[in-house]
Amino acid sequence: IVHEIEIDVEGMTCSACQNSVEGILAAVKGVESASVSLITGKAKVTYMLSETKSRDIIKAIEDAGFGASVSQ
Ligand code: 9UX
């Protein structure tokens, strides 16, 4: 089962940040797609529910020094 979540990302100040967060998300096991917007500060991520939890995705962003929370 593929799930989609939207995440509020804090601390992105340039387009390289956006690319960096996209790369971080793409590297998380089970993530199928990730698109990040510097303008809105949001990340849309699809992931395999069997392999990843939203917590793992949040943690990967936080480990890179950004703030992250599930947007709902
Ligand atoms: Mo831009 Mo972001 O110079 O971590 S890459 S601020």
pLDDT tens string 10-39: 999 999 999 999 999 999 999 999 999 999
Q: Which residues, at least 6 apart from 47, have a Cβ–Cβ distance to it below 8 Å? A: 2, 3, 5, 28, 30, 31, 32, 57
Cβ count within 10 A of residue 7: 23
Cα of 50 from ligand 1 centre, angstroms: 32
Domain ranges within the chain, ordered by starting residue: 2-70
Tell me the mean pLDDT in the region 41-48: 98
Class at the top of the CATH hierarchy for domain 2-70: alpha beta
Using CA atoms, how far residue 42 sits from 5, 26, 50, 55, 72, in Å, is 10, 15, 24, 16, 11
Q: How far apart are the first and last CA of the chain?
A: 20
Closest C-alpha residue for ligand 1 atom 2: 17
| Prediction pTM value | 0.94
ipTM for the assembly: 0.88
Cα of 51 from ligand 1 centre, angstroms: 30
